[in-house]
Structure 1
Amino acid sequence: MILGNCPYCNANVISKKITAQGKKIKLYSCENAKKEYDESDSYVFTSDSTCRFRVYSNAFLRWNKKSFSENEMKRLLKDKQTIIRLHGRKGTKEYFKYVIPHEEYGVSILWDEEVPEDYTY
């Protein structure tokens, strides 16, 4: 499924289901960011890859966000930012943060930017 255009090379960003470490997740990847296993069983970009934009749906697990949804990725690609809901360590505190594309890591949380208090998710 095509979600939008890559923020770096303008190619299509597609969604596909994969299994990583025994868990089924979604991978949002630029069509030009191709990876494969090399002879040492490392998962590396191919020689014909011209982009590196890739985001795994479980990218925010450490902040108790189980999945980065396709709709959130579509908003990120369209608006160059989106707002996500995160949770504290015990899962009781809820807070919102902006997320932007990041060339090396796929996405980055803007910790110093405050989301307006009247924002509704």
Structure 2
Amino acid sequence: MSILGKCPYCNSNVISQKINVKGKNIKLYTCENAKKEYDESEQYVFTADSTCRFRVYSNAFLRWNKRSFSEYEMKKLLQEGQTTIRLHGKKGSSEYFKYIIPHEEYGVSILWEEEVS
């Protein structure tokens, strides 16, 4: 577990943890105040004492053929408020770059309309 920077919403530490989801090892970048647990109905929910919701999974951009969002990219996002990521077209043919910014509900958001210079 390592500290990557400050949360864009509550200024607490954002940490990196290795987790296993459906048999795959991925990283979870999460604000220390955004805790989740399984409730009685086996739903993965925020705990009663969670005061923030900022969480990003390293596989957040899989549908755009980006295998992993790295700790380096996450640090840059936290430091600068945005960062550029490389995405790929279908079958990995073409590559293109887009800016991403923090998003309170989804963790990160791609700025589709903005062209990366």
Normalising to structure 2: TM-score of the pair?
0.98
3-state SS in 2 of match to 1:13 = strand
Inter-partner Cα distance in structure 2 for 1:106 and 1:58: 12
3-state SS in 2 of match to 1:47 = coil
Query: What do you get for the CA RMSD once the two structures are aligned?
Result: 0.3
Inter-partner Cα distance in structure 2 for 1:111 and 1:28: 23
CA deviation after TM superposition for structure 1 residue 21, in Å = 1.2
Q: Please say if 1:11 is aligned against 2:17.
A: no
Task: Give 2:15's aligned amino acid.
Answer: I
| Segments ≥4 residues shifted beyond 2 Å | none
Task: Give 1:47's aligned amino acid.
Answer: A
User: Could you say which residue in structure 2 is the equivalent of 1:68?
Assistant: 69
Task: Give 1:23's aligned amino acid.
Answer: K
Task: Give 1:40's aligned amino acid.
Answer: S
Deviation track 1:81-118 (CA, whole Å, cap 9, x = no partner) reads 000000001101000000000000000000000000xx
CA deviation after TM superposition for structure 1 residue 64, in Å = 0.2
Inter-partner Cα distance in structure 2 for 1:20 and 1:88: 25
Structure 1 residue runs of 5 or longer lacking an equivalent are 117-121
CA deviation after TM superposition for structure 1 residue 13, in Å = 0.1
Structure 2 residue runs of 5 or longer lacking an equivalent are none
User: Could you say which residue in structure 2 is the equivalent of 1:32?
Assistant: 33
User: Could you say which residue in structure 2 is the equivalent of 1:119?
Assistant: none
Matched pairs, number: 116
User: Could you say which residue in structure 2 is the equivalent of 1:94?
Assistant: 95
User: Could you say which residue in structure 2 is the equivalent of 1:57?
Assistant: 58
Task: Give 1:69's aligned amino acid.
Answer: S
Inter-partner Cα distance in structure 2 for 1:6 and 1:59: 18
3-state SS in 2 of match to 1:90 = helix
User: Could you say which residue in structure 2 is the equivalent of 1:78?
Assistant: 79
User: Could you say which residue in structure 2 is the equivalent of 1:45?
Assistant: 46
3-state SS in 2 of match to 1:66 = coil
Normalising to structure 1: TM-score of the pair?
0.95
3-state SS in 1 of match to 2:92 = coil
3-state SS in 2 of match to 1:114 = coil
User: Could you say which residue in structure 1 is the equivalent of 2:113?
Assistant: 112
